[in-house]
Structure 1
Amino acid sequence: MAKLTLMSRTYCHLCHDMEAVLLPLAAEFGVDVDVIDVDTDPRLEALYDELVPVLLHEGAELCHYYLDVAKVRDYLSKIR
């Protein structure tokens, strides 16, 4: 099963918005979503500080700030 990684912050409204739209899409395609709080790891915070939310698949960035639904839907249909 494919797994997407959402780099997030607990106090970030954009992160919450992206997660809310992403979860139904992930369920539709049968993929898991791992939400990681970048503030729990100094290395992740340094990498993603101003970019969160960032959606990744196997380390490759799919989008950041806002979920590009069409792009992610197309991507998921190809890796399925």
Structure 2
Amino acid sequence: MSPLLRRGARKDPADRTVTLIGKPGCHLCDDARAVIEKVAGELGSRVEERDITQDEELYRKYWEQIPVVLVDGEQHDFWRVDEQRLRTALTGG
């Protein structure tokens, strides 16, 4: 197996996706969005948002935790997003 395909191998932050799961009118979601936009913007990572009020499955799974942040589809954080922790997750450092 190629060393680049090994589990835990570093990925280029520009190849990473940060997903914010939240809902309209959520001030914690607004705070999380600001951190995500700053870090992802600096690193070139993709950002997407999902609205739990528009997705029943996301609502059932995350309604008590929003905002929820996923990195490449895996839950990274919820409620509050720590800038340094997100940066580390995206850079593998």
TM-score (norm 1): 0.90
Gaps of 5+ in 1: none
2:64 alignment partner, one of 50, 71, 74: 50
Does the residue aligned with 2:50 lie in a helix, a strand or coil? strand
Q: Which residue of 2 aligns with 1:70?
A: 84
Aligned with 2:35 (options 21, 25, 29): 21
User: What's the C-alpha RMSD, in Å, of the aligned pairs?
Assistant: 1.3
- SS of the equivalent of 1:50 reads coil
Cα distance in 1 for residues equivalent to 2:92 and 2:72: 14
Partner Cα separation in structure 1 for residue 16 and residue 91 of structure 2 = 11
Contact 2:71 2:90 in 1 (8 A): no
SS at match of 1:35: strand
Matches of 2:36 and 2:58 in 1, distance apart?
A: 21
Q: How many residues align?
A: 79
| Displacement over 3 Å in runs of 4+ | none
TM-score, normalised to structure 2's length? 0.79
